[in-house]
């Protein structure tokens, strides 16, 4: 009777041992390789930022990387743009995967101001105001932000003070302003007026010049207005502008109507139509709905999303929570997921760090000369001093160097061939000693080596010339 339980214990121990040894024989699965995609972001100063992202990464990951690269904390005013084609632009949604928003490769974005602050003086850091200045300078130079002659000259003078410092008669001669572009159609009269105003800003620091620039730019009628092509109920071409205050309607570059956010009850779209429901006026009893025709369905949805984002950012204290998922839902689930202006200001007041260092001038600038031709300049910055090197002069000098190298190479090749022919004739007619033959061969190798050296040098100079010209001959649209 006592032996049977011992046999059972042996069976149990065997079963336990086999159960323990089985997992050891199972091969471990190799970890999956993470697929990455290269992203390129064009920054406001003209430089390019590149990084590798996971293929399933969301837009917030890329945006945080760009802001970290720029050392930017007040980042809620900015966003990333990508273009479906030459005319259609979209803002990258930070809450969605990038691959679900952009079609195909490569992933190319531009870092732009998304929400123009109505009062830039409330921005805490100088670096935030500097990026806003860069965006406004692009808007003015491209014609997206129209200005009068007086405003062009005033803003241009503050730009010179911020980038060049006080006016120096010895360093800043009569033609130094042509290196900058302040307006789409820049004239000699405008440049002379800018130079006069630049002399009056003596003593202003770059940060103070930027602040004065923003104080004058924010008063422009088209400041911070995002325009969209549309047609009214009668089929007349108009422009719908979205800004911090509401929805604006333009016809022939003149504002013909304005709907403030408090006056708008509802915004919606259906197919290529965009609708706003407006509160009744004092003399009216019922609400009215106004419709506009957009070029296509995607344009109508894009305008609706821009309106939702601007209304939430500027009017609400906190963003609305997205609706709970149901089995059957009608309409779009899109909601602005970032921080509002009120939340951004609260977070900015908590910033406690020394003012970050940043370079105020871009290393490359392209401007138009007054005769309509292109003028390329290379800006070399060393601490607070800027030297301007005219690219045509630099290019001409490099071309002369290449010509000298090329001629030297051709002369070496010519004499190498002549020497080869003479040495062959001497060898055929005379029986030379091995040492003499060795001297002939070494001289020939030496001449061939010199010619190949000059050939490689001329090739490198020619390659650098082509790269330099291609990199500096890009004109922004």
Which residue did the predictor score with more confidence, 407 or 247?
Answer: 247
pLDDT in tens, 428-441: 555 555 556 556 56
Is the pLDDT score of 371 beyond 50? Answer: no
Is the pTM for the entire model greater than 0.75?
A: no
Lowest mean pLDDT among 84-88, 186-190, 214-218: 84-88
> pLDDT band for position 470 (50/70/90)?
very low
Q: State residue 359's pLDDT score.
A: 84
pLDDT in tens, 316-346: 998 877 666 554 455 566 778 889 999 999 9
Using the CB atoms, write b or e for 99-121: b if 16+ within 10 Å.
bebbeeeebebebbbbbbbeebe
Q: State residue 246's pLDDT score.
A: 96
Query: Judging by beta carbons within 10 Å of its beta carbon (0-12, 13-18, 19+), is residue 347 exposed, middle or buried?
Result: middle
216: region left, alpha or beta (phi > 0 left; psi from -120 to 50 alpha)? alpha
Q: State residue 285's pLDDT score.
A: 81
What's the CATH number for 120-222? 1.20.80.10
What strand order describes the sheet that includes 385-390?
A: 364-368, 374-382, 385-390
Fold of 36-113: Ubiquitin-like (UB roll) (3.10.20)
Handedness of CA 74, 77, 83, 84 (dihedral sign): positive
Of 365, 373, 367, 45, which Cα lies nearest the Cα of 178? Answer: 367
Rounded CA separation 415/206 (Å)? 61
Domain ranges of the chain: 36-113, 120-222, 227-315, 392-472
Query: Judging by beta carbons within 10 Å of its beta carbon (0-12, 13-18, 19+), is residue 307 exposed, middle or buried?
Result: buried
Lowest mean pLDDT among 14-23, 66-75, 258-267, 468-477: 468-477
pLDDT in tens, 275-314: 999 999 888 888 999 999 999 999 999 999 999 999 999 9
Any bridge partners for residue 293, and if so which?
Answer: 231, 273
Rounded CA separation 37/22 (Å)? 41
pLDDT in tens, 28-53: 665 666 788 999 999 999 999 999 99
Q: How far is CA 372 from the centre of its chain?
A: 27
Fold of 227-315: PH-domain like (2.30.29)
Instruction: State the chain's mean pLDDT as an integer.
Output: 79
Lowest mean pLDDT among 14-18, 337-341, 411-415: 14-18
464-468: long-range contacts (C-beta < 8 A, 24 or more apart)?
Answer: 464/398, 465/395, 465/398, 465/399, 465/402, 468/391, 468/394, 468/395, 468/398
């Amino acid at each position: 009777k006592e032996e049977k339980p011992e046999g059972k214990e042996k069976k149990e121990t065997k079963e336990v041992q086999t159960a323990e040894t089985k997992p050891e024989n199972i091969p471990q699965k190799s970890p999956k390789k993470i697929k990455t995609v290269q992203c390129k972001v064009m920054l406001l100063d003209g430089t390019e930022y590149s990084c590798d992202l996971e293929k399933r990464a969301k837009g917030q990951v890329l945006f945080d990387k760009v802001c970290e690269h720029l050392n930017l904390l007040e980042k809620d005013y900015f966003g990333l743009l990508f273009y479906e084609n030459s005319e259609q632009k979209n803002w990258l949604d930070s809450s969605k995967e990038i691959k679900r928003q952009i079609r195909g490769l490569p992933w190319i974005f531009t870092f732009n101001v998304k929400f123009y602050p109505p009062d830039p003086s409330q921005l805490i850091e100088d670096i935030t105001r500097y990026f806003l200045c860069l965006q406004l300078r692009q808007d003015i130079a491209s014609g997206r932000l129209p200005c009068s002659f007086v405003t062009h000259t005033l803003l241009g003078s503050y730009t010179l003070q911020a980038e060049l410092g006080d006016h120096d008669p010895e360093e800043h001669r009569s033609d130094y302003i042509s290196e900058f572009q302040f307006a789409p159609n820049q004239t000699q009269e405008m440049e002379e007026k800018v130079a006069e105003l630049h002399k009056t800003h003596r003593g202003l620091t770059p940060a103070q010049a930027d602040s004065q620039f923003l104080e004058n730019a924010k008063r422009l009628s088209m400041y911070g207005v995002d325009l969209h092509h549309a047609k009214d109920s009668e089929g007349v071409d108009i422009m719908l502008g979205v800004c911090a205050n509401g929805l604006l309607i333009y016809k022939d570059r003149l504002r013909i109507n304005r709907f403030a956010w408090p006056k708008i009850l509802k915004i919606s779209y259906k197919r290529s139509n965009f609708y706003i429901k407006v509160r009744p006026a004092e003399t009216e009893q019922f609400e009215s709905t106004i419709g506009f025709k957009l070029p296509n369905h995607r344009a109508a949805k894009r305008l609706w999303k821009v309106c939702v984002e601007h209304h939430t950012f500027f009017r609400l204290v906190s963003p609305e929570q997205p609706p709970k998922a149901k089995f059957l839902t009608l309409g779009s689930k899109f909601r602005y997921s970032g921080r509002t202006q009120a939340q951004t200001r609260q977070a900015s007041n908590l910033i406690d760090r020394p003012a970050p260092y940043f370079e105020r001038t871009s290393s490359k600038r392209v401007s138009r000369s007054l005769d309509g031709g292109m003028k390329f300049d290379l800006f070399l910055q060393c601490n607070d001093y800027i030297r301007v090197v005219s690219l045509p002069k630099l290019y001409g000098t490099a071309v002369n160097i290449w010509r000298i190298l090329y001629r030297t190479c051709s002369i070496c090749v010519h004499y190498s061939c002549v020497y080869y022919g003479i040495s062959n004739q001497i060898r055929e007619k005379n029986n030379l000693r091995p040492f003499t033959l060795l001297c002939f061969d070494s001289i020939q190798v030496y001449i061939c080596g010199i010619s190949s050296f000059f050939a490689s040098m001329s090739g490198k100079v020619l390659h650098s010339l082509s790269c330099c010209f291609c990199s500096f001959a890009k004109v922004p649209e």
